[in-house]
Structure 1
Amino acid sequence: MSRLAAGVVLVTAHDPDDGPRGADAGMTATSFLSVSLDPPLVLVSVREGSRMDDLLAEQPLWGVSLLSEAQRQTAGRFAMKGRLSDRLLFEDLPHVRGELSGAPLVQGALATLECRTEQRVPAGDHTLVVGRVLAASVAPAGGEAAGPLTYYRGSYRHLR
């Protein structure tokens, strides 16, 4: 499957029950796709038992930022095993709060989505999370100059 090029997204959620102000969590994903236009549905594959899997089982609202090739470092930060705490990862990440989901959405992303979980399907060592798109935003004109961040054969790539 490393021969299949994939777009790179950051999936995020806000956990209002974690501490006095709540906490944010995020994960880099390449297993993300559009499922339906009517109704607007997307799917993300989340590793079973991960922090994000646990959070999305409790918190039905989440966000997706479609990353540009200029955001390679952001993708890498949220993909690292044994990484810093989620709180530190978001500390200096330019982001805005989703109006509907409260999830952090990366500034400068090619597009952002706010979603509500419609269905969770166990699939091997992952959970397939189907979300209804509640809101979407695209980068302003000229914001797509960098192009999409892609992942192919174990490395981040850019389109030529």
Structure 2
Amino acid sequence: MPVSPSDFSAALRQYAAGVALLTVRDDIDDVGTTVTSVMSVSADPPLVAVGLTADGYPAEVLDAVGTCGLTVLAAGQAILASRFSSAGRPSARHLLESVPWSRAAGSGAIVLDGGVVALDCRLDRLVPAGDHVLALLAVEDVPVLRDGAAPLLRLRGRYVDAPGSR
């Protein structure tokens, strides 16, 4: 018996996932989106995979530009996650007004100074996966690393601070 998309979504909502902000700097503007499907793929060479909606603008821009920043959000950054997950959002720089950030050296993408970790990445390839694509990203630098910082999680459709967060 096939699993319906709604049953599949309900089942996977039970799984706590880290929340990250993927940003791309193109010639026109900065684009950003909230992602919860991030996984480590390889340590040598350093690779991560990120799931993006196949027909979404962030995937299109990432494919065209070929580089991005990926910031794992920290506990207390749920408002930022919500800003970047809503439809019709303005430029990433406008959504980050009064939030400390910098540009990753290689990609020029925005990375948040207050995130748990930020990765400066180059797109290795996009892999079709149903209604999404998996962006396989080669990690070229780690411009932010706050060892021990508590992450923001997504569980049962809500953003929650990791246990032990203040």
Distance 1:91 1:38, change over 3 A: same
- SS of the residue corresponding to residue 74 of structure 1 reads helix
Structure 2, unpaired ranges of 5+: 1-11
TM-score of the aligned structures, taking structure 1 as reference length? 0.88
Give the root-mean-square deviation of aligned CA atoms: 1.6
Among 34, 39, 44, which residue is 1:33 paired with?
39
Question: Do the aligned partners of 2:21 and 2:72 also contact (CA within 8 Å) in 1?
Answer: yes
1:4 aligns with 15
Q: Superposition pairs for residues 105-144 of structure 1, below 5 Å?
A: 105-140=111-146, 144=149
1:149 aligns with 2:152: yes
Question: Do the aligned partners of 1:13 and 1:62 also contact (CA within 8 Å) in 2?
Answer: yes
TM-score of the aligned structures, taking structure 2 as reference length? 0.85
2:25 aligns with 14
Question: Do the aligned partners of 2:117 and 2:146 also contact (CA within 8 Å) in 1?
Answer: no
1:55 aligns with 61
Once superposed, which parts of structure 1, at least 4 consecutive aligned residues long, lie more than 2 Å away?
A: 81-88, 90-94, 137-142
Task: Report how many residues are paired.
Answer: 152
Question: Do the aligned partners of 1:108 and 1:139 also contact (CA within 8 Å) in 2?
Answer: no
Q: After alignment, is 39-48 or 90-99 more displaced? A: 90-99
Structure 1, unpaired ranges of 5+: none
- Structure 2 residue identity aligned to 1:66: V
Question: Do the aligned partners of 2:54 and 2:132 also contact (CA within 8 Å) in 1?
Answer: yes
